[in-house]
């Protein structure tokens, strides 16, 4: 799927590079600020990894993604029960509450792997009043790790396929 989209819009990938790292930061931030609705910001990181430095692409995308994830954290922190009734939310919250000393590692791992449940992790972290700086730190580290893989994959595959 990613390959089809990138191939179809390969000319736009070059245009996106004119926005540089700030554009990557903003796309990642906006795409992760949605709650429980997937927005394909990862595709931009994948494509831009081929055009710009993949490590800087991952750094700016990871920072943007972590800032965007604050939206879910703040919903949980404010006490708004957006997803309290979902079984997945209940299980994540219970795991984080029981394993508080491992919650930082849980945030990092869940941020580092592409999954649709990270919004729930952010909400649970906010609900449990995990300090904002800790959530942001481990979310940022995990997001950068994830983005490195996508940016490098884009750099290797798109350069090889399209000679960008």
Secondary structure (DSSP) of 61-81: HHHHHHHHHHHHHHHHHHT--
Mean pLDDT by 10 residues, the chain (164 residues): 48 62 87 70 84 94 94 81 58 62 82 85 84 94 96 81 56
Domain spans of the chain, in order of start: 2-162
Structure tokens at 33: 């600020």
Angle at 53 between CA 69 and CA 13, to 5 degrees: 75
The position carrying tokens 């079984």 is 87
Residue 150 in contact with residue 49, Cβ under 8 Å?
A: yes
Q: Which of these, 86, 43, 63, 74, lies nearest to 137 by C-alpha position? A: 63
At 1 the pLDDT is 42
At 2 the pLDDT is 43
């Amino acid at each position: 799927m990613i390959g089809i989209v990138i191939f179809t819009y390969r000319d736009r990938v070059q245009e996106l590079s004119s926005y540089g790292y700030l554009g990557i930061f903003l796309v990642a931030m906006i795409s992760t600020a949605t709650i429980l609705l997937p927005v394909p910001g990862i595709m931009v990181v994948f494509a831009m990894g081929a055009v710009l430095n993949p490590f800087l692409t991952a750094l700016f995308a990871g920072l943007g993604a972590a800032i965007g994830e604050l939206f879910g954290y703040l919903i949980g922190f404010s006490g708004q029960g957006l997803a309290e009734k979902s079984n997945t939310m209940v299980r994540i919250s219970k795991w984080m509450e029981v394993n508080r000393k491992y919650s930082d590692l849980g945030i990092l791992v869940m941020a580092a792997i592409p999954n649709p449940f990270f919004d729930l992790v952010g909400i649970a972290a906010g609900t449990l009043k995990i300090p904002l700086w800790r959530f942001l730190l481990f979310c940022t580290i995990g997001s950068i790790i994830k983005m490195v893989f996508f940016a490098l994959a884009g750099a290797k595959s798109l350069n090889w396929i399209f000679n960008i």
